[in-house]
Amino acid sequence: MKNIALIAALALLSGACGKKQETEEVKKFCLDESFKSRIALYTAELQDVTEGIHLTGSVEPNPDKVVSYVPLVSGVVTSTFFSLGDRVSKGQVLAEMRSTELSGMSASLASLDSRIQAARSNLASVQSMFDDGLASRKELAEAVSELEVLKAEKARTEKDMSLYSGNSEKGVFQIKAPATGIITEKNVNPGEQVSAGGTPLFTISDLNNLWVMVNIYASNVNNIRQGMDVSITTLSYPDDTFRGNISQISPVFDEEARVLRGRVILPNGDYKLKPGMLVDVTAWKRTGRQAVGIPASAIVFSDNEYYVLVYKDDCHIEARKITIEARNDTMVFVSEGLQAGERIISQNQLLIFESL
């Protein structure tokens, strides 16, 4: 019996020692160098509590930077030198067309050149006669006036030719880009007949800066203000967030969509955003309160509780329960459990949490 009691006592002692040793091993958990390189640290700080309000919107070009070219003369397009989506520069020749108006202008210029040459000869003759006393001052003035009238008429015709970009050598009107930008609409092909003042042949848009038109529904009108910061995401670029602010809100509802339209101007130097894209918009409403803010990605959710891993050094890491006051898409605002200035692990924290 004594042997049995001794064996039992040793077993209990061994189990207790094992548990104590296991507890000590947990307390001595330390980050090794290889794993430490895979984590990120974030210093908690007091921040203004902001609430995210979800809205929708669409990308549109700035209408002040959109130019549609309407033909000034009628004719037949002989060549085009651009395609939809091409980037063009102001003054670049985009198409050529033949027109009877060009033929008329060319003939008029040729006739005016002949008449001007004759008027110059006549003026020289009258001037000589006037010098010899054989012509009156009135006759000289009439000869001078005739030449000046013909010169003025030629200048007007040449100006018209320049306005229409007429090329008398090739016998065509050259259609030149009125602005620098991207061809966003094309309605012309070689062989087509066009009419003066008809359908625009093409549209050029400057896409370096775009408008995001935000839909503000009646339920959100009281919460959305001009100047609010916004975050914009798209299905095309799920990992990219475009940031801006609401620069203007329309004072009247859109009759078709029954929403107010807010405008956000975004730079688009990389041309990622395209007119017509649908976007998700988060407007950030400031509450006037402050709380400790940390990235939402740093939170660990376990057993219906929220935790963060507070880092002091590689061998002192604490899994601490927190109380969340508010949150948005990117940040969490903590009311209890964390102080400003404490550092937390914000990347790969779940693996460490399981080890602890």
What residue spans define the domains of the chain? 29-48+289-355, 52-64+207-288, 65-205
User: Residue 356: pLDDT above 90?
Assistant: no
The model's pLDDT over 137-152, given as tens digits with 9 standing for 90+, comes to: 888 888 889 989 888 8
Q: Find how far residue 343's CA is from the centre of its chain.
A: 36
Q: What radius of gyration, in Å, describes the C-alpha atoms of the chain?
A: 40
Percent of the chain with pLDDT over 70: 89
Q: What distance in Å separates the CA atoms of residue 83 and residue 311, rounded to the nearest whole number?
A: 58
Higher pLDDT, 41 or 110: 41
Percent of the chain with pLDDT over 90: 38
Q: Which CATH topology does 29-48+289-355 take?
A: 2.40.420
Q: For the residues 300-320, what does the mean pLDDT come to?
A: 90
Q: How confident is the model at residue 292 (pLDDT cuts 50, 70, 90)?
A: very high
User: Residue 16: pLDDT above 50?
Assistant: no
**Average pLDDT over all residues of the chain:** 84
Asked if residue 55 lies in contact with residue 67, where contact means CB atoms within 8 angstroms, the answer is no
The pLDDT score that the predictor gives to residue 168 is 64
One-letter amino acid identity for 64?
A: D
Check if 29-48+289-355 and 52-64+207-288 are the same fold: no
Read off the tokens for 79.
Answer: 């060549």
Alpha helix (H) residue ranges in 28-99: 33-36
Q: Which CATH topology does 52-64+207-288 take?
A: Elongation Factor Tu (Ef-tu); domain 3 (2.40.30)
Q: Which residue shows structure tokens 């110059």?
A: 120
The pLDDT score that the predictor gives to residue 230 is 94
The pLDDT score that the predictor gives to residue 166 is 67
The pLDDT score that the predictor gives to residue 19 is 44
The most confident of the ranges 169-173, 213-217, 220-224, 351-355 is: 213-217
pTM: 0.61
Q: What distance in Å separates the CA atoms of residue 80 and residue 94, rounded to the nearest whole number?
A: 6
Q: How confident is the model at residue 351 (pLDDT cuts 50, 70, 90)?
A: confident
Q: For the residues 167-187, what does the mean pLDDT come to?
A: 85
User: Residue 73: pLDDT above 90?
Assistant: no
Q: Which CATH topology does 65-205 take?
A: OB fold (Dihydrolipoamide Acetyltransferase, E2P) (2.40.50)
Q: Find how far residue 244's CA is from the centre of its chain.
A: 10
Read off the tokens for 186.
Answer: 């094309």
